[in-house]
Amino acid sequence: MHPLRKLYDYASQYRRDFVMGSIYSVLNKFFDIMPEVLIGVAVDIVVNQEKSFLAREILSDYGITSTWHQLLFLAALNVLIWGGESLTEYLHHLRWRNLAQRLQHDMRLDAYDHVQRLTLSYFENRKTGNLMSILNDDINQMERFLNTGANEIIQVFCSSIMVSAVFFVLQPTIALVALLPIPLILFGAFWFQKKLAPRYAAVREAAGNVNAKLNNNLLGLATIKSFAAEKFELERVREASEHYRATNAEAIKVNSAITPVIRMAILAGFTATLVYGGYLTIHGELAIGAFSVLVYLTQRLLWPLTRLADVADMYQRSMASIDRAMNLLRTPISIPYEGRHFSPDSVKGDIEFSDVRFGYDPELPIIDKLNLSIPAGQTVGFVGATGAGKSSVVKLLLRFYQPQQGELKLDGENIQNLNLQDLRRCIGYVSQDTFLTDGTVAENIAYGINAERKAIELAAELANATDFIRELPQGFDTRIGERGQKLSGGQRQRLALARALLKQPPILLLDEATSAVDNETEAAIQKSLAIVAKGRTTIVIAHRLSTVRHADCIHVLEKGRIVESGSHDELLAKDGSYAALWRLQTGEVAITEE
């Protein structure tokens, strides 16, 4: 589908603005062309006086034939026309620019809203910087197009038609001569446009790549510095930027050729009018007034066509951008949000995995035949080698991903039938890579909810974060920098934990939530969690076995399958891989604790 068609469908609520903007543009062009016609009429009045076209055909009915009155009439008409031109100029600018502003605002918000709803796997195959460039540059380009480009296209088109009409009325043979270059010009413009389309698509892609590179590097500055890789990265940015320059150069090469080609065609039309029209006038076959109108109008007809180059350029750039933005907006959301609404308070917390099979690549399952039942209120631990699939299990529960086979149930209902946001609202999730925003400590703990200061402080207390928060310059009101970079890893983790606890969710998912804190702090957190976890279903993932040893049940995962399950003591008694891991971590021999 053509990008304009996609835009038209998208902007259905703005169709009135499109129509009104177009009407004002057309009227404005009409008023803009009229002065040239009036010049011809003025010449005609001066030359033919009482026998002028105006006197004969229009004013004689009203008894106005004197040259002076004709000129006064013409002057009044002139004022009206200029007034009309100024008014429609104001109106078309107002319409188009307001439309551009409102549409870019809506589109940016819609696109962002849509991007937020896309599944995580969508982002894994794309570069953030590229998405940023769609949300910023491409939408801005669409704004520029509507600001000026749409009006220009309409006016170039209108002036061609209007001037051609005047030509045919005045002198059809000259009209033919003068208009002869137009098909050539239009053909040339379309030909160039076709050449430009893929080039501008490549330019936008290259711009996205530069953005992606810059974005990635700015996030990884500490690593770049620690590897003294500044030069290496500069080279990589240079490569991306050079590619952008080169693709743009390709487009410029084509674009720059348009104006000269069009100019030559215009020259042919103008010369023909001048010579042939002059010849007819000298031989009395064409009135002087008509001749002067034709000469002026040839300019007016053909000259705007040189703008075709810029218009075609902007059009193609904009189409490439609109296409990218529209495609983003039309990307299907593969995990739908819709489903049965429910309140977190109504959730008991029974979780069941039955025969679940899942792989990020469906051909390569990393979880297979997973059957697991977690009764409401229990605390369950997941341990196992790195890459065994522990995090993937909780991500399935959050419906970040969809299993290829089997079912996940919450309180006996397939989670696919539940409203996605309601499901997530009843889960407190602390991920391995905590995301903190550039706000205060309190704002970060109360992320996404309205909470009183007392509740925030209590959550911080439970996450054993109060001591370090009090030592910050403004305590709970200290700003922690982008991604919380002014805090240590362990401090960040405790804020993330406090944030999950503040929600008081019926289900808690803690994925290595305390991996970065020292043993003493962890022990303190464990004590709080033992209280918090009462009445909640809690899943704890940890490499440090001391984190999960008090869980009601511990599952050992290997290559996406549960190979051992039981309490800490039962697993030690089994003397399997859990017991071996315990020995490795503690140096203790495999004896059960009595």
Ligand X SMILES: Nc1ncnc2c1ncn2[C@@H]1O[C@H](COP(=O)(O)OP(=O)(O)OP(=O)(O)O)[C@@H](O)[C@H]1O
Specify the stretch interacting with ligand X by CB under 6 A; choose among 182-190, 299-307, 380-388, 423-431.
380-388
386 binds ligand X (CB under 6 A): yes
Output 33 or 496, the one with its CB closest to ligand X.
496
Specify the stretch interacting with ligand X by CB under 6 A; choose among 291-299, 372-380, 389-397, 571-579.
389-397
118 binds ligand X (CB under 6 A): no
- On the 0-12 / 13-18 / 19+ scale of CB atoms within 10 A, 368 is middle
360 binds ligand X (CB under 6 A): yes
Q: How far is CA 223 from the centre of its chain?
A: 28
Specify the stretch interacting with ligand X by CB under 6 A; choose among 143-151, 220-228, 386-394, 519-527.
386-394
363 binds ligand X (CB under 6 A): no
Round to whole Å and give the CA distance between 237 and 235.
Answer: 5
Q: How far is the CB of 391 from ligand X (least distance, A)?
A: 3
Q: How far is the CB of 360 from ligand X (least distance, A)?
A: 3
Output 213 or 390, the one with its CB closest to ligand X.
390
Q: How far is the CB of 359 from ligand X (least distance, A)?
A: 8
Q: How far is the CB of 352 from ligand X (least distance, A)?
A: 19
* Residue 344 CB coordination number (10 Å): 17
| Amino acid (one-letter) located at 289 | G
Which helix (DSSP H) or strand (DSSP E) does residue 469 occupy? helix 466-471
Closest listed residue to residue 286, CA positions, set 175, 189, 137, 362: 175
387 binds ligand X (CB under 6 A): yes
Round to whole Å and give the CA distance between 459 and 208.
Answer: 41
Output 12 or 386, the one with its CB closest to ligand X.
386
Q: How far is the CB of 510 from ligand X (least distance, A)?
A: 12
Cβ contacts of residue 4 below 8 Å, gap of 6+? 319, 322
12 binds ligand X (CB under 6 A): no
Q: Of residues 290, 347, 388, 542, which one binds ligand X by CB under 6 A?
A: 388
Q: How far is the CB of 345 from ligand X (least distance, A)?
A: 30
Q: How far is the CB of 388 from ligand X (least distance, A)?
A: 4
Output 247 or 391, the one with its CB closest to ligand X.
391
Output 217 or 391, the one with its CB closest to ligand X.
391
Round to whole Å and give the CA distance between 487 and 415.
Answer: 36
392 binds ligand X (CB under 6 A): yes
Specify the stretch interacting with ligand X by CB under 6 A; choose among 321-329, 379-387, 403-411, 448-456.
379-387
From first CA to last CA, the distance across the chain in angstroms is 72
How many residues interact with ligand X (rule CB under 6 A)?
Answer: 11
Round to whole Å and give the CA distance between 210 and 238.
Answer: 9
Q: How far is the CB of 499 from ligand X (least distance, A)?
A: 20
Q: How far is the CB of 470 from ligand X (least distance, A)?
A: 32
Round to whole Å and give the CA distance between 76 and 289.
Answer: 19
Round to whole Å and give the CA distance between 212 and 505.
Answer: 36
Round to whole Å and give the CA distance between 144 and 97.
Answer: 9
Q: How far is CA 203 from the centre of its chain?
A: 17
Task: Supply φ then ψ for residue 413, to 5 degrees.
Answer: -110, 135
CA angle 190, 194, 200 (to 5 degrees): 125
Round to whole Å and give the CA distance between 165 and 147.
Answer: 29
Output 3 or 560, the one with its CB closest to ligand X.
560
Tokens found for residue 32: 């803009």
Q: Of residues 124, 363, 433, 520, which one binds ligand X by CB under 6 A?
A: 124
Which residues are at the interface with ligand X (CB under 6 A)?
A: 124, 360, 366, 384, 386-392
